[in-house]
């Protein structure tokens, strides 16, 4: 079986994220990294391969993003993917969820994977939605937030938490599955894997290469528009006890009197 | 004329509160847009008179579809058909999980724009504009749509109001499901993992998260809860890990609580957790990371190691109570 893992480049966790008031898009100028949630999807692919219940012939990391997103792919390869594909094209910039999912589905069509894995959410857009869009275009069954995944033949048994508790769902391959971050503990790449990652095949494709309809992508092809940008309602900021570790007893005394003042003890 | 279709989630014969809220929101919005709100229920074998009660919340019409419940893609098929056949151009969902999956799939199917985590919607010049907080609620964007719109609410953003309308007209719709929509099969639904604990009636909740480090460390929260006379709650991260019962989970796919005191130990404050506890009267958080999002909405934040602070806090409270 062939597994495609969708991975995204996002601003590094240490960067304070903000929307640019001019372009109304995310300011992507700072340090970038592989979306941390996607490392769980790569690890899930690796565990399927190593688990032996099914034969995994190939794991391909796929991204859509600017030139710089190559480094997210290299990181994905260092975590276990065999090769990677980058969809990059100026015409794709500013794509919303629906446009992004459509474009990714077109790249995936050219790869014909048996299983597409995604992270539970991106650390920037946090739309939790790309998987379902991709699945609808590929006409595959789909599930999100999966925290247990077992494969047997062409059937996946998936568990995930929904509104009323845990659901167990059997899904027939080919399928699109987004995994929750509790599914596994991603491994750290070995030094050898990091060194070797740059040598693994990385293919770059343009929108035209995979037959993307230019009218359906990019800012102009997107059906959502950011019309305005507002600050959140002002809230009185809370009290903070900084560096409590330096004076635990003092901090505890402060907490106790704070609670006591509010008659909570 | 703009019509709004609301997906109604249900289990064991009961409609989900967030879906009922979404119907009331849709009715308000449809009024502003000059259209009607309708609701759709997929599966569940509901009697027509039960479905008609959705009218009270604002659904002029209720579409009844028999098919698999608790799965997204059959609902996408059903909603796409109803929207196309009836010329409806907005779909609305209450907060939760299934709505995200159905809404995104539906947007792809009918080529609509989709926005999620919506905390409000209004009509502006005959078009719908949605308010969505982004980037850990640090900014709020107004999202507009060219063409059809799919709007997925944030949990607890839309209040149900059962005084909006009369009985809804129930219409049965036959839907031919896509092959791929039937390739996911629900084996069990809504399994309650772990003990059945009650966190909704507690005045004081001590909530533990991944920062506890291991399952056994929930004992720290239990001791503190014991000293204060409260109950212990949890995040999805630790429930998924099997550290604590699902019944104790706060958030988007757990419980909504509003105690007098909510004290978090080792919880980052993700939006999906926040939506279930932000109405708490007093919010206290202990976290070793000064940049943890939870400090943005805490009344008292303590930057430090919970393993050092919580046991001493428990002792100090016991001493205070004993005094
Ligand atoms: C603050 C903010 C708010 C936004 N709000 C909206 C909105 O309301 N509606 C809307 O339509 N768009 C919105 N967008 C745009 C949206 O984030 C982008 O279209 C993005 O490319 C896809 O959504 P996501 O990153 O949120 O993905 P999610 O659905 O959260 O990501 C889930 C998974 O999909 C995969 N994935 C996502 N993007 C890619 C990619 N480019 N390449 C490969 N794999 C990928 C990853 O595996 C990821 O873990 C918003 C963007 C920002 C920055
Ligand atoms: C669709 C969807 C639905 C979801 N539903 C829910 C839901 O219902 N409820 C929910 O809770 N989540 C939900 N989530 C998950 C949510 O996004 C977060 O992943 C989760 O809430 C994080 O849990 P946490 O705070 O325990 O863990 P983390 O985010 O890992 O935070 C752990 C925190 O502990 C701190 N810490 C570590 N060690 C120490 C120490 N020694 N002392 C003090 N602090 C320490 C760290 O600084 C960190 O801030 C959902 C997600 C999605 C996508």
- Phi and psi dihedrals of A27, rounded to 5? -75, 110
- Residue A158 corresponds to which tokens in the numbers above? 């998936």
Chain A from 154 to 213: CB within 8 A of any B CB: 157, 161-172, 175, 180-182
Question: What average pLDDT score do residues A2-15 get?
Answer: 94
Q: What is the DSSP letter of A114?
A: S
Ligand nearest to the Cα of B154, by number: 2
Report DSSP letters for B77-103, one per residue. Answer: HHHHHHHHHHT--EEEE-SSSHHHHHH
Task: Tell me the CATH number at A38.
Answer: 3.40.50.620
Model confidence at A18: pLDDT above 90: no
Among A98, A232, A264, the residue with its CB nearest the CB of B282 is: A264
Residue B305 lies in a domain: yes
* A23 in reach of chain B (CB within 8 A): no
Task: Tell me the CATH number at B234.
Answer: 3.40.50.1220
Model confidence at B33: pLDDT above 70: yes
Residue A263 lies in a domain: no
| B contacts of A150 (beta carbons < 8 Å) | none
Which residue out of A62, A123, A125 has the highest number of ligand 1 atoms within 8 Å of its CB and is therefore the one to mutate?
A: A125
Residue A255 lies in a domain: no
Percent of chain A residues past pLDDT 90, beyond the cut? 91
Closest chain B residue to A222 measured between Cα atoms?
B113
Q: How far apart are CA B309 and CA A250, in angstroms?
A: 10
Statement to judge: residues B264 and B175 lie in one domain: no
Residue A72 lies in a domain: yes
Q: 């995204």: which residue's tokens?
A: A8
Test A128 with B187 for CB contact under 8 angstroms.
no
| A contacts of B134 (beta carbons < 8 Å) | 19, 126
Statement to judge: residues B96 and B41 lie in one domain: yes
Statement to judge: residues B104 and B228 lie in one domain: no
Residue A247 lies in a domain: no
**pLDDT for res A183:** 97
**pLDDT for res A17:** 86
Residue A246 lies in a domain: no
Q: In ligand 2, which atom is closest to the CA atom of B293?
A: 49
Model confidence at B2: pLDDT above 80: no
Statement to judge: residues B146 and B220 lie in one domain: no
Which residue out of A32, A70, A122 has the highest number of ligand 1 atoms within 8 Å of its CB and is therefore the one to mutate?
A: A122
Q: From the centroid of its chain, how far is CA B155?
A: 3
Statement to judge: residues B89 and B238 lie in one domain: no
Ligand 2 center from residue B94 Cα (angstroms): 22
Q: How far apart are the first and last CA of chain A?
A: 59
The number of folded domains in chain A is 1
Question: What average pLDDT score do residues B174-202 get?
Answer: 97
Percent of chain B residues past pLDDT 90, beyond the cut? 97
Among B141, B180, B282, the residue with its CB nearest the CB of A229 is: B141
Ligand 1 center from residue B292 Cα (angstroms): 23
Chain B from 28 to 67: CB within 8 A of any A CB: none
Ligand 1 center from residue A127 Cα (angstroms): 5
* A94 in reach of chain B (CB within 8 A): no
Model confidence at B1: pLDDT above 70: no
Question: What average pLDDT score do residues A236-264 get?
Answer: 96
CB-facing half-sphere around the CA of A255: CA atoms within 13 A: 32
* B240 in reach of chain A (CB within 8 A): yes
Residue-averaged pLDDT of chain B: 97
Q: How far apart are CA A42 and CA A231, in angstroms?
A: 36
- Domain that residue B243 falls in: 204-322
Statement to judge: residues B222 and B130 lie in one domain: no
Residue A129 lies in a domain: yes
Residue B189 lies in a domain: no
By alpha-carbon position, which residue is closest to atom 24 of ligand 1?
Answer: A125
Statement to judge: residues B219 and B175 lie in one domain: no
**pLDDT for res A20:** 87
What are the pLDDT digits (tens) for B236-273?
A: 999 999 999 999 999 999 999 999 999 999 999 999 99
- Report whether residue B44 contacts ligand 2, using a CB cutoff of 6 Å: no
| B contacts of A228 (beta carbons < 8 Å) | 141-142
**pLDDT for res A154:** 96
**pLDDT for res A263:** 96
**pLDDT for res A13:** 85
**pLDDT for res B246:** 98
Statement to judge: residues B117 and B218 lie in one domain: no
Q: In ligand 2, which atom is closest to the CA atom of B97?
A: 1
Residue B194 lies in a domain: no
Residue B197 lies in a domain: no
Statement to judge: residues B10 and B159 lie in one domain: yes
| A contacts of B183 (beta carbons < 8 Å) | 140-141, 171-172, 175
What are the pLDDT digits (tens) for B111-128?
A: 999 999 999 999 999 999
**pLDDT for res A126:** 94
Q: pLDDT tier at A16 (50, 70, 90 boundaries)?
A: confident
Q: What is the ipTM of this complex?
A: 0.96
Statement to judge: residues B172 and B277 lie in one domain: no
Residue B152 lies in a domain: yes
Ligand 2 center from residue B211 Cα (angstroms): 8
* B16 in reach of chain A (CB within 8 A): yes
Q: How are strands ordered across the β-sheet holding A175-179? A: A202-205, A83-87, A58-64, A2-6, A115-118, A175-179, A142-152, A155-162, A165-172, B184-191
Determine how many CB atoms are found less than 10 A away from the CB of residue B124.
13
Ligand 2 center from residue B210 Cα (angstroms): 6
**pLDDT for res B88:** 97
Residue B40 lies in a domain: yes
**pLDDT for res A21:** 84
Residue A244 lies in a domain: no
Model confidence at B290: pLDDT above 60: yes
The number of folded domains in chain B is 2
CA distance B231 to chain A (A): 14
What are the pLDDT digits (tens) for A67-112?
A: 999 999 999 999 999 999 999 999 999 999 999 999 999 999 999 9
- Domain that residue A192 falls in: 2-221
Task: Tell me the CATH number at B98.
Answer: 3.40.50.620
Model confidence at B155: pLDDT above 80: yes
Q: Which of A21, A164, A237 to mutate to test the interface with B (most CBs of B within 10 A)?
A: A164
- Report whether residue B156 contacts ligand 2, using a CB cutoff of 6 Å: no
Q: How far apart are CA A39 and CA A9, in angstroms?
A: 12
Model confidence at A218: pLDDT above 90: yes
Residue-averaged pLDDT of chain A: 96
Ligand nearest to the Cα of A104, by number: 1
Question: What average pLDDT score do residues B131-136 get?
Answer: 94
Statement to judge: residues B150 and B242 lie in one domain: no
**pLDDT for res A236:** 79
Test A145 with B186 for CB contact under 8 angstroms.
no
Statement to judge: residues B168 and B314 lie in one domain: no
Q: Which of A115, A141, A217 to mutate to test the interface with B (most CBs of B within 10 A)?
A: A141
Give the helix/strand (H/E) hosting B158. none
Q: 């009844």: which residue's tokens?
A: B64
**pLDDT for res A64:** 98
* B80 in reach of chain A (CB within 8 A): no
For residue A26, the cross-strand partners are: A19
What are the pLDDT digits (tens) for B304-316?
A: 999 999 999 999 9
């Amino acid at each position: 079986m062939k597994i495609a893992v969708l991975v995204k480049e996002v601003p590094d966790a240490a960067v304070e994220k903000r929307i640019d008031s001019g372009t109304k898009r995310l300011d992507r100028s700072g340090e970038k990294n592989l979306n941390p949630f996607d490392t769980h999807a790569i690890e899930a692919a690796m565990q399927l391969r190593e688990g032996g219940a099914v034969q995994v012939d190939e794991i391909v990391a796929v991204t859509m993003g600017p030139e710089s997103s190559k480094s997210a792919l290299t990181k994905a390869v260092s975590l276990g993917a065999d090769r990677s594909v980058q969809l990059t094209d100026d015409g794709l910039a500013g794509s919303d969820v629906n446009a992004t999912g459509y474009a990714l589905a077109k790249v995936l069509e050219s790869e014909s994977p048996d299983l597409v894995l995604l992270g539970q959410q991106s650390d920037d857009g946090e739309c939790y939605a790309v998987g379902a869009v991709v699945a609808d275009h590929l006409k595959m069954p789909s599930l999100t937030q999966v925290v247990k995944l077992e494969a047997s033949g062409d059937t996946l048994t998936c568990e995930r938490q929904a509104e009323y508790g845990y659901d167990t769902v059997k899904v027939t391959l080919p399928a699109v599955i987004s995994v929750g971050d509790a599914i596994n503990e991603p491994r750290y790449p070995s030094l050898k894997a990091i060194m070797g990652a740059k040598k693994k095949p990385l293919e770059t494709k343009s929108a035209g290469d995979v037959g993307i309809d230019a009218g359906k992508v990019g800012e102009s092809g997107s059906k959502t528009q950011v019309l305005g940008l507002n600050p959140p309602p002002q809230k009185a900021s809370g009290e903070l006890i900084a560096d409590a570790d330096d004076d635990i007893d003092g901090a505890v005394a402060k907490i106790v009197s704070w609670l006591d003042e509010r008659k909570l003890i | 004329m703009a019509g709004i279709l609301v997906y109604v989630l249900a289990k064991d014969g009961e409609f989900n509160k967030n879906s009922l809220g979404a119907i009331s929101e849709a009715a308000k919005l449809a009024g502003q847009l000059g259209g009607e709100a309708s609701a759709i229920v997929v599966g569940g074998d509901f009697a027509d008179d039960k479905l008609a009660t959705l009218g009270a919340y604002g659904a002029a019409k209720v579409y009844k579809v028999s098919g698999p419940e608790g799965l997204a893609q059959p609902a996408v098929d059903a909603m796409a058909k109803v929207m196309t056949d009836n010329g409806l151009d907005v779909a609305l969902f209450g907060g939760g999980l299934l709505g995200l999956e159905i809404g995104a799939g539906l947007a792809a199917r009918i080529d609509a724009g989709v926005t999620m985590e919506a905390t409000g919607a209004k009509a502006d010049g005959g078009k719908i504009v949605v308010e969505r907080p982004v980037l850990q609620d640090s900014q709020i964007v107004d999202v507009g749509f060219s063409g059809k719109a799919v709007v997925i609410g944030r949990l607890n953003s839309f209040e149900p109001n059962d005084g909006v309308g009369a009985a809804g007209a129930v219409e049965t719709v036959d839907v031919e499901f896509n092959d791929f929509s039937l390739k996911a099969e629900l084996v069990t639904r809504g399994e309650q993992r772990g003990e059945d604990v009650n966190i909704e009636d507690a005045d004081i909740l001590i909530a533990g998260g991944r920062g506890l480090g291991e399952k056994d460390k929930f004992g720290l929260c239990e001791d503190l809860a014991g000293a204060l006379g409260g109950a212990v709650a949890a995040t999805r991260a630790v429930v998924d890990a099997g550290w604590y019962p699902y019944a104790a989970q706060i958030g988007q796919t757990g419980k909504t609580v509003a105690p007098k005191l909510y004290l978090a130990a080792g919880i980052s404050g993700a939006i999906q957790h926040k939506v279930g506890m932000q109405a708490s009267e007093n919010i206290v958080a202990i976290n070793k990371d000064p940049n943890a999002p939870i400090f943005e909405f805490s009344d008292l934040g303590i930057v430090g190691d919970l393993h050092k602070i919580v046991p001493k806090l428990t002792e100090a409270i016991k001493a205070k109570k004993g005094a």
